[in-house]
Amino acid sequence: MSPLSTAHRRTLRPTAALAIALVCGGLFPCFFRSARAGVPVGPAASTLTGQSGFGTIKGRLVWGGDTAPEAKNAVEKGKAEKDPTVCAASAAIRDKKLVVDPKTKGVRYAFAYLVRPKGNNPDAMKAALEKTPTVEIDQKNCEFLPYAVAVLQDQPVKFKSSDPVNHNIHLNPFTNPAFNQILPPNGEVDKKFVRERLPIKLTCDIHPWMEGWIMVVDHPFFAVSGEDGSFEIKGVPAGEQNLVVWQSTVGFATPGLARGMPVQVKAGEAVDVGEVKLDPSKVKK
């Protein structure tokens, strides 16, 4: 090979490298592999990291006694002290303060959430808002439906009434302003909330048996326990997190009270905290 051709080849090398760099940085992303590490670098690495940087926390809140307490009625059928032609007219209104499944001893309507989560998940936040753009709390048959609901900070909440009688929305939050407003038949009112450190009790002063609970969080890492007491929080950033399980008759059911219990979350895995026991001796009468 002539000296001229060798020099020409040396001149072309950086030009070719620049061309590859320009193509890879444009519309055609390159997915190289490191010869030493054998792992993706560049765009492939960021995609993989984003997919594997989150895990799941799951568990179950269960009654800690030998026998599950019997279900109770807040109002017997046809015996409402106020508006009996509407309230409990066709069926008894169940007491939902402490709902324990007799088969599994699972406790329903408890809030499971992270305390000051380490890390965030913008995609999970976006998905939560897209799934439920507005949270609706209805007053139907003189009950709040749903009984317990978690909402995101600044997420619209619509209080409405499907009943042909007056109700009212009465809230005494810790951080948000107190709120007490009459809701006429088939009326509605919209509200937004900032983060609260504890769930907010919701009542209707016209019908004193009516109550519900609202938990306001500023992150998407929360759940409400189901019929068997189970809860699952997905998309949690990997690392050590603090989990709280809170139920209205006992308050904090997890160790650590407001600080929560430590949970080590692994990327791409689900960690099961097992059964969280609700101590019967701590139930408020």
Average pLDDT over residues 207-214: 98
Average pLDDT over residues 76-91: 96
For residue 231, the number of C-alpha atoms closer than 13 Å in the C-beta half-sphere is 29
| Chain segment 253-272, per-residue pLDDT in tens | 999 999 999 999 999 999 99
pTM, entire model: 0.81
CATH number of 55-282: 2.60.40.420
Which residues have CB under 8 Å from 178's CB, separation 6+? Answer: 171, 172
**184 three-state secondary structure:** coil
Sketch the domain layout of the chain as residue ranges.
3-48, 55-282
pLDDT at 285: 77
CA distance 138 to 71: 23
Give the 3-state secondary structure percentages of the chain, helix then strand then coil, rounded to 5.
15, 35, 45
CA distance 17 to 13: 6
Mean pLDDT estimate for the chain:
86
Q: What is the DSSP letter of 32?
A: -
| 118 pLDDT more than 60 | yes
Q: Using alpha carbons, select from 203, 222, 221, 205 the residue that is nearest to residue 213.
A: 203
Listing DSSP states for 97-137 in one string gives SS-B-TTT-BB-S-EEEESS-SS--HHHHHHHHHH-SSEEE
Q: What is the DSSP letter of 142?
A: T
Residue with tokens 């594997």: 52
Beta strands 73-75 and 93-94: pairing type?
A: antiparallel
Q: Using alpha carbons, select from 150, 57, 148, 64 the residue that is nearest to residue 106.
A: 64
Residue 109 CB neighbours (<10 A): 22
pLDDT at 5: 45
